[in-house]
Structure formats: structure tokens, C-alpha cells
Amino acid sequence: MATATKSGIQGRLDGRLLLPGDTGYDDTRTVWNGMIDHRPRMIVRAASTNDVVTAVRAAREFDLEIGVRCGGHSGVGHAVPHDGLMIDLTPLAGVHVDPAGRRARIQGGALLGVLDRATQRYGLATTAGNVSHTGVGGLTLGGGMGWLARRYGLACDNVESYTMVTAEGDVVRVSRTERPDLFWGLRGGGGNFGIVTEFEFRLHPIGTRTLVAEYTFPLDKAVPALKAWRDLNAEAPREATFTAGIGQDDTATLGFVWIGDPERADGLVRRFETLGRPAAARVAEMSYVDLQRREDTVERHSLRRYSKGHYLRRFPDAAIEAFVHRGAPDGRHRPAVGLQAYGGAIADVPDEDSAFSHRATLFEFGTGTSWTAPADDEVRIAAARRSAAAMAPFADGVYVNALNDEGAEGVRRAYSPEKLAKLVALKNAYDPHNVFHLNHNIRPDQ
């Protein structure tokens, strides 16, 4: 039966169909979070939009759940449906750059590093995330925060058009003038409405140089330094994105990332020297491509992982104390925490312009932990939950791409009631049977 099924589907594919036991099956089903060990009934390694159409129709024919893989960074393993059909987009990884028109056409399986390298040949870029092995598709459909966002908006704000396969297996083009309702929903609504096989992005002339400034403080000096850092952020130029983090080594690192001519950051560097007396300071110029991949090793595949996040519209002194203590004032099992500044061009976009919500966010908070031994799962997950709970009184929502296992409650936090109602209406129109439900799901009216 499996052989007959494989033969029938494979004959319609440009790519490959993998079944359990086939060469490449285990490598393809392995994703970023080492806790995920799901076994799809079949995997379609899509080499064309037609392959995605074939896979969607086959899944519906055999009544199989659909999971879609690009970078595979979903913390709960949405990309890998157990006993379902996994559509692996990674063979669809082409990027075509039009430097004169400042546009890039990017296939749905491309990773951020491929995009960055292709556009930086011309000194161009568009907003993308901070880890180069992240998938363009998942990042962009949820919004897409990155170092360029304060200057040029989120990744979703820079999309000109999408090519998408619907739940019925139809191929549609989506833009402001073609299916504008769906264009609104794809800009922040996640993978709820279809599988995007190509994005068209606007590009921006940023050059190739960046600067990273980092000042490390012992934990007992972190609170006053964070207060000064917070106040300085209110005056930050749009070229700068402020960051703060406390690692599992119990030191606090405050700083900023600057995109553009490093010499223009000199004044901000001097102002950072007034935050206090750091134990260490590092101010370094690097290429934009190197900046984009500097977290790749820390965020590597195969580690067991758990994380949670919040959006913060304010960061009062009490929140700073909670950030430093991370839900464990006794010092035990405190996970890493971090902050990244929003504002600038993100907030310039009218809230009603897209499904993406919480544009008035001041900082995005994240807490996470990684480990290798399954025996540590319970204590590690509990620590991250405590850390997130300590910041919850100051939260004003959540980034949909930062959701983990919160389910429907998390989706309600990601969108306003008005936007969620509009997203449900779109789901009713484009996926009334909830074919695409392995995501942070917007359920249709049943």
C-alpha cells in the first residue's frame, strides 16, 4: 500500500517523496528544537509550487494533517506532523535580486542567510531576523522583527506580494490590489491561510557596515544601569536598536546594534559610557552578514529548548527588578532573559494596516533556556515559565512568533479582539475546514 501510494504521488512531483526508512527521512524530520521527535507518515520535499499543490491535495485525499517546514524553528514542532504529511519547502530556496528596482523575489523555503548574502552583494537588505538559519517564510508571516525594523519596518511591512497555495490546492497571487483582504491577513497572521511559495520584498540601501556595542555589568550593578539604558532608549536614533540581556552566567549585557556608517554612532557610544562602570566593554564594527549570523552557534539545532515572551509598552522600575531576578530570587535555575527595542518605523505603520498587532510596543521580552539531557526537561521548563510569569504584570501582549505552548490563550494575546474577529472571517473564507491548523491557530467558526 505504501509503495503504491509513494509511486502515485512521486510521479506527480518535481521533488522527492520520503517515507519512513527512506534515506534522508530522519534528517528531514529533525528540526531546531531537540525535544521534537515526530514521525510523519510521508514527507514531500517540494521543488516547485506545483509540488506544494500536489502535497496539499494528497494530504486531503488521505486525510492527513499538514505541517510545513522551512527553517523548522517552531518551538513546539508545528512543521513535523506526527503520522501526517510534512511539506518540506527547503529545496525551494532561490533568491532573485533586482538591484536597480530594489526588489527581491524569494522562494518560500529560503533561509535568512541566503537572503542576506544575495542582497548584500549590492549593499541592499530588507528586514529579517537575527539568526541566519531561520526561515524567511515563518518569520515574515508572523511579522518579522530584525535589526532593520526601526528604520524600515518589520519584514511583513516590506512585502510587495505573495504567491500562495490555498487549502483547496489553488495558486493565488496576493498584494495590496489582488486579494487585499488576504494581503492584510498574511502580514502578521501566520501560516493560517495557506502556504506561501514566493515573497516579493522591497530592499533598502544600507551599505554593508554595522556596529555592535555591548557593556557587561555584574548582576548587583544591573538595576541602575538598566534604568539609565531604558531612559537613553527614548532618545535613540532609528539606526540603533537597543538590546539588554542577562545570561545564565548571571551577568547583564546592555548595548545596541547600529546599522549604517559606524562613525555616526560615536555620539551614542559616548552616552553609553555614562551608564555606569561595566566589568567589560566591547564596541566592534562588523559586516551586516556577520551580524546576521553571529548568534547561529548559540541558536544551533539539536539542543532541547523552551522559551516564552511578552510585549512591553512600559518598563518601570518594578519591571527592571523582575527582569533581573527572573522569577527566582533565591538564584536557582534562572534562565536567560533579553530585551529588544521596538519603535521607529514599526510604530509609523497604522495599526489597522495589517494583522500584526502591538505596534506601540516599547520592548520585546524573551526568556529561554537550552539543555541536552531529557532528565532536565521539567526543571528547565519550569524555570522559563517562572521567569515569564514574573514579567507578566507588565505585559501588553505577545509576538505571535514568540508563542510556544500557550494555545488559544496565546493567540488571543497576540491580536486585539477586533483583529482576531477579522482573522477568523478570513479563515472562514480561505480555510473553513482548518486544513492549516498546525500553527498558532486561528480557528474558523464551526
Of 69, 138, 63, the C-alpha closest to 440 is 138
Domains of the chain plus CATH, in order, are 2-88 (3.30.43.10), 95-206 (3.30.465.10), 209-407 (3.40.462.20)
- Rounded average pLDDT over 81-106: 98
All three cell numbers of 397, joined, read 501582549
What CA dihedral angle connects 87, 186, 367 and 412, to 10 degrees? -110
- Rounded average pLDDT over 243-249: 93
Distance CA 57, CA 49 (A): 13
Cα→Cα distances 147→291, 380, 382, Å? 9, 29, 30
pLDDT at 334 over 90: no
Distance CA 14, CA 107 (A): 15
Residue type at position 301: H
pLDDT for res 7 = 64
pLDDT for res 93 = 97
pLDDT for res 1 = 42
- Rounded average pLDDT over 98-107: 98
Q: Which residue has the cell 553571529?
A: 294
Q: Sort 94 into a burial class: Cβ within 10 Å, 0-12 / 13-18 / 19+.
A: middle
- Residue % of the chain over a pLDDT of 90: 95
All three cell numbers of 317, joined, read 522600575
Report H helices in 242-307: 266-272, 288-293
pLDDT at 446 over 70: no
Distance CA 129, CA 362 (A): 18
Comparison of pLDDT for 299 and 334, the residue scoring more: 299
Q: pLDDT confidence of 259, banded at 50, 70, 90?
A: very high
Q: pLDDT confidence of 268, banded at 50, 70, 90?
A: very high
Residue type at position 235: E
Output the average pLDDT for the chain. Answer: 96
Instruction: Check if the beta carbon of residue 414 is closer than 8 Å to that of residue 165.
Output: no
The phi, psi pair for 305, rounded to 5°, reads -140, 150
Distance CA 373, CA 375 (A): 5
Q: How many CB atoms lie within 10 A of CB 225?
A: 22
Distance CA 145, CA 358 (A): 12
pLDDT digits (tens, 9 = 90+) for 188-214: 999 999 999 999 999 999 999 999 999
Instruction: Check if the beta carbon of residue 426 is closer than 8 Å to that of residue 181.
Output: yes
pLDDT digits (tens, 9 = 90+) for 146-181: 999 999 999 999 999 999 999 999 999 999 999 999
Instruction: Check if the beta carbon of residue 240 is closer than 8 Å to that of residue 265.
Output: yes
Distance CA 382, CA 373 (A): 15
Residues forming beta bridges with residue 199, ordered by sequence position: 106, 162
pLDDT at 309 over 90: yes
Comparison of pLDDT for 387 and 10, the residue scoring more: 387
pLDDT digits (tens, 9 = 90+) for 372-418: 999 999 999 999 999 999 999 999 999 999 999 999 999 999 999 99
Q: How many CB atoms lie within 10 A of CB 260?
A: 18
pLDDT at 3 over 90: no
Instruction: Check if the beta carbon of residue 46 is closer than 8 Å to that of residue 91.
Output: yes
Q: What is the CA radius of gyration of the chain?
A: 22
Residue type at position 127: T
Q: pLDDT confidence of 11, banded at 50, 70, 90?
A: confident
- Rounded average pLDDT over 303-314: 98
pLDDT digits (tens, 9 = 90+) for 71-83: 999 999 999 999 9
pLDDT for res 4 = 53
Q: pLDDT confidence of 55, banded at 50, 70, 90?
A: very high
pLDDT for res 330 = 61
Q: pLDDT confidence of 248, banded at 50, 70, 90?
A: confident
Distance CA 35, CA 371 (A): 10
Q: pLDDT confidence of 2, banded at 50, 70, 90?
A: low
- Rounded average pLDDT over 46-72: 97
Supply angle C-alpha 150, 160, 358, rounded to 5. 40
Q: Which H or E run includes 216?
A: strand 209-218
pLDDT for res 332 = 66
The alpha carbon dihedral of 82, 83, 84, 88 has a sign of: positive
